[in-house]
Amino acid sequence: MSGRKGYQNYEYGGYMTGGFVIERNMASGNTMTKPVVIASPFAEYNWHWLGIGANAKIGYVPYIPMLPSDSFLPPDKNHKITPVMPGFMARFGPYDWLDAQLRFFSGFPEPLPTSIWDLSLGTGFGMTDGSGLRIGTTFPHEGNIYFRGHYLIDNRFGLTLRYKYGKNYFTDEGVNNEFAIAVSYLLDNKIP
């Protein structure tokens, strides 16, 4: 559900994430496949210069730990699991032109296992409907950069593309490329 009045807008609802996490032990070649099903309720409210939001991920939630010592676990143990993970979003700056955003375990689409922190700059190119482009980085993975584009079609359909490029999560060798796509539909988009 969402609504807009001038520069103020709100959005609340939920989404489901499903799929599989496949891990391969580089030394032995063994693979492990685990199903992922996550329900994510969320709410966000934006004024022209400020924005706040909260969410939760409920289910089998794999995430990459913050502690550097955890990053060098054996390949079949390279992430942590939690049944519930809260998240938040804070934004400062006019979202239609240039803003800075900080997210903690909050984002869609999000390749899994996910990063915990997300810091980005974004622009709406003068649009106030939530469409725009962001460039940012994720933590704890230093050196990762991502691009995220969102476009709202006919005030109902949303298309989001995300590409992340950076160092491999668990070794200093190689690079990690991630691409994610999300399609959304606004059930009740109230525009006065």
For 42-100, the pLDDT digits (tens) are 999 999 999 999 999 898 877 766 655 555 555 455 567 778 889 999 999 998 999 99
CB < 8 Å & 24+ apart, contacts of 12-18: 12/42, 12/43, 12/44, 13/41, 13/42, 13/187, 14/39, 14/40, 14/41, 14/42, 15/40, 15/42, 15/108, 15/184, 16/40, 17/57, 17/59, 17/108, 17/110, 17/112
pLDDT in tens, 3-40: 777 788 888 888 888 888 777 766 777 887 888 888 98
Task: Tell me what pLDDT residue 123 has.
Answer: 95
**Residue 190 above 70 pLDDT?**
no
pLDDT tens figures, 123-166: 999 988 888 999 998 876 666 888 999 998 887 888 999 898 87
What is the reported pLDDT for 64? 66
| Sequence letter at residue 57 | K
pLDDT band at residue 112, thresholds of 50, 70 and 90? Answer: low
pLDDT at 192 over 60: no
Q: In the prediction, which pLDDT does 72 show? A: 54
What is d(CA 68, CA 51) in angstroms, rounded to the nearest whole number?
Answer: 31
- What pTM, to 2 d.p., does this model score? 0.76
CA atoms within 13 A on the CB side of 14: 8
Q: Taking residues 169-181, report their average pLDDT.
A: 70
Q: How confident is the model at residue 182 (pLDDT cuts 50, 70, 90)?
A: confident
